[in-house]
């Protein structure tokens, strides 16, 4: 199978047809008098977007509206257009100067603003060229191919039709990447120019391992965190009870803090998984203790006393962690990843644990260890947690000793004898559990698995769930299966009573739980 | 009075300085709030980053954000007009409140 590599801006897996976003049309050298109309048109588009935007998206749109309502800025544009007799050149020059200044500022906050100004520039240029980039035409099941996607363009997309995004350029630290993580849309960036012949082809976007695969790959794990069917948001409200009256917990997965501004707390029983490595602002170094504590605090504010499970940095495999060296291995998925990588960097673990405890400030906190395979690993993290609590002393908050330590169950080694691990709770990662149980990589077509989860995988899941019930320990299943009704049925039948999903999947998941379809 | 007069300072101008706090400095959201508040006064109001060279119109969000004032850095404000004193007091108060809405949380 052909595969193309990129960097993961937003995790998840989606299948669909690769389609190129409508490009900006070529310039026409419009004279200055078109500029006022173009500004009015852009303002109208942005105002329409603002009506539905929330959180980070709303901030980005508002900034652009304010720019266009700034008389001095508009005057500068008009003067440049009149002086040069070319509106497009004026827009490119006036905004280009600011973009360059921001891009070179060396400050991350202001660098991100450069992309927002480029966004505004492109919108004005499109308006000058008389183009309305309509997304209504995109068919369902589209994997969108773009070149440097801008934030407001992302906000215009109908996410019921776009199940994934491939950006040939772009960065994992951009506002668009944050928006995609917040919405739970799988996104790959920096793939380099892809062959035009790929357009219109069936592809699988594997933004878990950072690959775009030609052909729709088989296997049940492939479509995790794929595309949610259109189910009304009101289904997200309230408790999820099966027709038999069994209560199923639905927790939020946090890939970006901006999701907290968009996810209604009433939809969720808590936060089931925080991918902390995705919250780091810098691609080169892990954030320090104070800054980490400031990043984690909003999670607890949002949860308002409901449980918050924060996973320690999950790297390795083929996913590097900023600033941490991952040994070069012939087979990184069978090497230093998850808990193993963290154990080589005890200072990183200590810093993160202290930051989490400080952010929790006595509120209920669960700390999740990524990919665990041996009981000794949990002993390491139990000791590290105890050290962090005593190092913090009173700063850890009155109830810090109630902090729970849990483990990701992603291997048969962890699932077979869950009772042998010192874990207060368990989180099942089905993606990896399937591939490690079957010895089949997710991009392999060596096995034809169909829609259902294989019986052996279910047997492992059942083992963990039963251990949880016997010992009074919670077991949650991470990753989204809400578009996969066969799997969801199987998991409910296995006794799974807690799911953790990205925000946009919650209504669909609850709908299925309630109706059995 | 023109901007070039203002650059020279001099009679008719009142001046004040304040340090920008908050997580992200004078980035988009604070710049929007500052320029909006400035437009509420009839006085001409100019702003300059400490150590920077150019005074810019505080009523223009584009100009204010272009100063790229990071957190912990000071800005200088200069106003001239009937409500110049009130403008400086109001704007300094806004920065001191870390751009929080008045009366709000």
Domains of chain B: 3-96 (3.30.1340.10)
**Is pLDDT larger for residue B58 or for residue A216?**
B58
pLDDT band at residue B1 using 50, 70 and 90 as cut-offs: very low
Confidence check: pLDDT of A216 > 70: no
> By the 8 A CB rule, do A144 and A162 touch?
yes
Half-sphere exposure of A496 (CA within 13 A, CB side): 27
- Give the whole-number percent of chain A exceeding pLDDT 90: 44
pLDDT band at residue B104 using 50, 70 and 90 as cut-offs: very low
Nearest CA in chain B to A63: B28
Looking at residues A8-26, what average pLDDT do you find? 82
> Which pLDDT belongs to residue A96?
93
- The predicted complex's ipTM stands at 0.79
> By the 8 A CB rule, do A282 and A322 touch?
yes
Nearest CA in chain B to A77: B62
> By the 8 A CB rule, do A189 and A9 touch?
yes
Of B32, B62, B70, the CB nearest to A72: B62
Nearest CA in chain B to A113: B28
**Chain Cα centroid distance, residue B11:** 19
| Sheet arrangement for strand B56-57 | B14-19, B74-80, B44-49, B56-57
**Is pLDDT larger for residue A318 or for residue A346?**
A346
Contact B60 A98 (CB under 8 A): no
Which of A110, A113, A258 to substitute to test the interface with B, most B CBs within 10 Å? A110
Residues near A226 by beta carbon (within 8 Å), at least 6 away in sequence: A12, A13, A14, A15, A163, A186, A480, A483
Looking at residues B32-54, what average pLDDT do you find? 92
- The pLDDT tens digits of the residues spanning A53-81 come to 877 888 889 999 999 999 889 999 999 99
pLDDT band at residue A223 using 50, 70 and 90 as cut-offs: very low
Residue A388 and residue A396: Cα distance in Å, rounded?
9
> Which pLDDT belongs to residue A10?
86
Of the ranges A182-191, A268-277, A430-439, which is most confident?
A: A268-277
> Which pLDDT belongs to residue B23?
67
3-state secondary structure of A182: helix
Bridge partners of A425, per DSSP, are A406, A474
Confidence check: pLDDT of A208 > 90: no
Confidence check: pLDDT of A224 > 50: no
| In A344-417, alpha helices (H) | 346-360, 375-392, 412-416
Look at strands A308-311 and B44-49 and give their pairing. Answer: unpaired
Q: What is the pTM (predicted TM-score) of this model?
A: 0.70
pLDDT band at residue A84 using 50, 70 and 90 as cut-offs: confident
- The pLDDT tens digits of the residues spanning A467-496 come to 999 999 999 998 756 556 788 899 999 999
> By the 8 A CB rule, do A313 and A276 touch?
yes
Tell me which residue of A367, A377, A474 sits closest to A420, measured CA to CA. A377
């Amino acid at each position: 199978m052909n595969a193309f590599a990129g960097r993961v801006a937003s995790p998840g897996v989606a299948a669909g047809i690769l389609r190129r976003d409508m490009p900006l049309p070529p310039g026409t050298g419009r004279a200055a008098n078109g500029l006022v109309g173009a500004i009015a048109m852009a303002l109208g588009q942005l105002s329409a977007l603002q009506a539905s935007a929330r959180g980070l998206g709303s901030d980005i749109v508002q900034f652009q509206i304010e720019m266009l309502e700034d008389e001095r800025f508009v005057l500068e544009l008009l003067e440049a257009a009149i002086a040069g007799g070319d509106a497009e050149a004026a827009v490119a020059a006036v905004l280009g100067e600011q973009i360059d200044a921001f891009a070179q500022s060396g400050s991350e906050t202001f660098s991100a603003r450069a992309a927002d100004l480029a966004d505004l520039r492109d919108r004005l240029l499109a308006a000058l060229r008389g183009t309305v980039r309509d997304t209504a035409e995109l068919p369902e099941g589209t994997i969108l191919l773009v070149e440097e996607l801008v934030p407001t363009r992302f906000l215009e997309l109908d996410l019921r039709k776009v199940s994934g995004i491939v950006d040939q350029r772009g960065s994992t630290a951009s506002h668009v990447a944050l928006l995609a993580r917040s919405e739970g849309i799988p996104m790959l960036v920096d793939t380099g120019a892809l062959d035009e012949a790929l357009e219109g082809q069936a592809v699988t976007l594997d933004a878990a391992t950072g690959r775009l695969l030609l052909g729709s790959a088989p296997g049940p794990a492939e479509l995790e965190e794929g595309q949610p069917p259109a189910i009304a948001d009101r289904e997200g409200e309230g408790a999820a009870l099966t027709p038999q009256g069994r209560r199923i917990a639905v927790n939020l997965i946090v890939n970006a803090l901006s999701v907290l501004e968009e996810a209604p707390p009433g939809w969720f029983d808590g936060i089931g998984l925080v991918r902390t490595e995705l919250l780091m602002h810098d691609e080169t170094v892990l954030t320090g203790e104070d800054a980490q504590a400031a990043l984690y605090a909003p999670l607890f504010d949002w949860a308002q006393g409901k449980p918050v499970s924060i996973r320690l940095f999950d790297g390795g495999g083929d996913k590097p962690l900023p600033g941490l060296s991952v040994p070069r291995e012939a087979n990184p998925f069978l090497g230093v990843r998850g808990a193993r990588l963290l154990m080589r960097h005890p200072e990183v673990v200590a810093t993160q644990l202290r930051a989490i405890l400080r952010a929790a400030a006595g509120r209920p906190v669960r700390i999740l260890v990524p990919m665990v395979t041996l009981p000794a690993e949990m002993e390491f993290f139990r000791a590290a947690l105890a050290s962090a609590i005593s190092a913090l002393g009173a700063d850890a908050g009155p109830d810090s000793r109630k902090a729970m330590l849990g483990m990701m169950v992603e291997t048969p080694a962890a699932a077979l004898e869950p009772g042998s691990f010192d874990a207060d709770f368990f989180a099942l990662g089905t993606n990896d559990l399937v591939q490690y149980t079957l010895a089949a990589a997710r991009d392999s077509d060596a096995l034809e698995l169909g829609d259902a989860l294989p019986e052996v995988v279910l047997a492992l899941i059942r083992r963990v769930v039963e251990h949880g019930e016997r010992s009074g320990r919670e077991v949650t299943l991470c990753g989204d299966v809400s578009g996969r009704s066969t799997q969801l049925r199987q998991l409910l039948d296995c006794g799974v009573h807690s799911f953790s999903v990205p925000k946009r999947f919650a209504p669909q998941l609850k709908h299925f739980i309630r109706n059995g379809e | 009075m023109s901007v070039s007069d203002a650059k020279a300072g001099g009679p008719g101008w009142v001046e004040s300085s304040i340090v920008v706090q908050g997580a992200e400095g004078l980035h988009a959201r604070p710049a929007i709030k500052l320029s909006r508040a400035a437009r509420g006064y009839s006085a001409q109001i100019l702003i300059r980053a400490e150590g920077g060279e150019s005074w810019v119109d505080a009523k223009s969000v584009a100009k204010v954000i272009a100063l790229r004032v990071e957190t912990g850095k000071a800005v200088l404000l200069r106003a001239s007009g009937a409500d110049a004193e009130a403008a400086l007091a109001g704007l300094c108060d806004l920065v001191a409140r870390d751009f929080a809405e008045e009366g709000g949380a």
